[in-house]
Amino acid sequence: MNRRELMAVLAAIAATPAARAFAAQGDLTAAAREAWLYALPLIEMAQARQRMLTATGVDAQKAGLNSFGHSRKLVVPANRWITTPNNDTLYSSAWLDLTKGPVTLTIPPTSDRYISVAVMDMYTNNNAVLGTRTLGGQGGTFTLVGPGQSGSGADVVRVETPHAWMLVRTLVDGEADLPAAHAVQDGLKLKGPKGVAPGAYANRQSPWDAYFSSVAELLASDPPRPEDLALFRKCAGLGLDPKGAFDPKRFDAAAIAQIQAGVAQASMGLIGFTKRMVFTQGWSYPRSNLGDYGQDYGFRALVALAGLAALPVTEAMYLRAQGDDGAVFSGDGLYHLAVPAKLPLDGFWSLTMYEATADGQFFLTENPINRYAIGDRTPGLKRNADGSLDVWIGRSDPGGDRTANWLPAPAKGPFAMTLRAYLPRQEFLDGRFRMPAVQKV
């Protein structure tokens, strides 16, 4: 639905007696918009779970219920199982089912290799991140308990929903380092009751009735936080209950038109967000509540769409470069980024190139040199005498000495770039340090 069609729908439904009756009970369009945004993380998580549990093929990102699946290679453009992937770490995934009891997690010693084990509830909040930052390189054994389950002590990790996603990032330093990284992956263990395979659910493009019916099932399976009850009261006209009740048959044609308009507003608003992002000296910096969103439902929905499974800022800073149109670049010319010799972090950094899709997602892009990111571990880069780095960005090879530091953009179409800084220091977190802007040459 485009903007003109949306405005026509809104004008038509506003004139009907049924619409005026619903307006007396509350704005059904606004209720549908807010409820759609609130529930999008549940839908995206359910879709990711379904893809991973049923994945086939050597390069697929697989996962089990209460068991790990491992990606043995770095992500490439053909891997589109999740939006905005990194090209620095191997992924390991497990979908947790704690309904029958706790699950035990073992993390092996990793020495100085970066690892993070993120435990996300079904609303995409990081309930815990275990690994280099929190454990050092010692590893450990932990008991994951769901809502209402008993457990105490430093080794107990409380998960806020009965189902959850565990996503592990293990740093790999080039092809020769893969066997050692695989050994770390193989040391990850889960032990617990056998999980129950989940059903199929609607996706974000599904019709309103299928979407909200699936949301109701997911709410029943993984109830919301008590502080979310105000949202459900605000959206009472929709009849979506926090315990999972929803009856799409109760609405007449005029009411359905309102609901469809609200869903369209929510979807169009998210896709257009990149044009309204706030930039500071050429970069959009993450909000402090990234990865643990509280009642910031709009931001949570945006991240679920464009960066599902984002880590908290204490673990990693995600910066989006300011482009020609918001956070999106469209030019055919050359761009330049001057990277300081040292960034204030205790981990590593990388600048990753993405092609932007029409529905607001981002994936790695094919290029002639198979380089999808540039970072502090990229071999063959030419640094300046002071250790700083000139990164050249464009659709074609910049030639000469610049070729060594070329980050290829897609051959055509819009693109975006994300800079990741793992284990940022305080001056990065509080804004005292700012990255230089990407400049058009």
SS (H, E, C) the chain: CCHHHHHHHHHHHHCCHHHHHHHHHCCHHHHHHHHHHHHHHHHHHHHHHHHHHCCCCCCCCCEEECECEECCCCCCCCCCCCCCCCCCEEEEEEEEECCCCCEEEEECCCCCCCEEEEEEECCCCEEEEEEHHHHCCCCEEEEEECCCCCCCCCCEEECCCCEEEEEEEEECCCHHHHHHHHHHHHCCEEECCCCCCCCCCCCCCCCHHHHHHHHHHHHHHCCCCHHHHHHHHHCHHHCCCCCCCCCHHHCCHHHHHHHHHHHHHHHHHHHHHHHCCCCECCEECCCCCCCCCCCCHHHHHHHHHHCCCCCCCCCEEEEEECCCECCEECCCCCEEEEECCCCCECCCEEEEEEEECCCCCEECCCCCCCCCEEECCCCCCCECCCCCEEEEEECCCCCHHHHHHEEECCCCCCEEEEEEEECECHHHHCCCCCCCCCEEC
| Percentage of the residues of the chain whose pLDDT score is greater than 90 | 87
pLDDT band at 68 (very low <50, low <70, confident <90, very high): very high
Q: Looking at domain 67-191, which of 2.60.40.1610, 3.30.499.10, 2.60.40.10, 3.30.70.370 is its CATH number?
A: 2.60.40.1610
* Average pLDDT of the residues of the chain: 92
Give the pLDDT of residue 97.
98
- CATH 2.60.40.1610 placement within the chain: 67-191
pLDDT digits (tens, 9 = 90+) for 327-341: 999 999 999 999 999
One-letter identity of residue 220: A
Asked if residue 350 lies in contact with residue 318, where contact means CB atoms within 8 angstroms, the answer is: no
* Tokens coding 26: 């509350």
Distance CA 328, CA 323 (A): 5
Tell me, what's the pLDDT at 26? 53
Per-residue pLDDT tens for 4-22?
433 343 343 333 333 343 3
Do 319 and 284 touch, CB atoms closer than 8 A? yes
Q: What is the pLDDT of residues 377-397, one digit of tens each?
A: 999 999 999 999 999 999 999
Strand partners, 440: 335
Residue 151's pLDDT band (cuts 50, 70, 90): confident
- Is pLDDT at 319 greater than 50 in this prediction? yes
Percent of the chain clearing pLDDT 70 (strictly above): 93
Mean pLDDT of 110-121: 97
Task: Give mean pLDDT, residues 90-98.
Answer: 97
Residue with tokens 């010319």: 333
Q: What is the pLDDT of residue 12?
A: 37
Read off the pLDDT of residues 260-309 as tens digits, 9 standing for 90 and up.
999 999 999 988 876 778 999 999 999 999 999 999 999 999 999 999 99
Average pLDDT over residues 30-53: 97
Start-end ranges of CATH 2.60.120.600 in the chain? 278-440
**pLDDT digit string (tens) for 172-184?**
998 899 999 999 9
Please determine, for residue 23, whether its predicted confidence score (pLDDT) is greater than 50: no
Is a pLDDT exceeding 60 seen at residue 25? no
Query: Does pLDDT of 2 surpass 60?
Result: no
At 273, give phi and psi (nearest 5°): -65, -35
Q: Is the pTM above the cut of 0.95? A: no
As a CATH number, domain 278-440 is 2.60.120.600
Number of alpha carbons in the 13 Å side-chain half-sphere of residue 330 = 7
Whether the pLDDT of residue 24 is over 80: the answer is no
pLDDT at residue 239 tops 80: yes
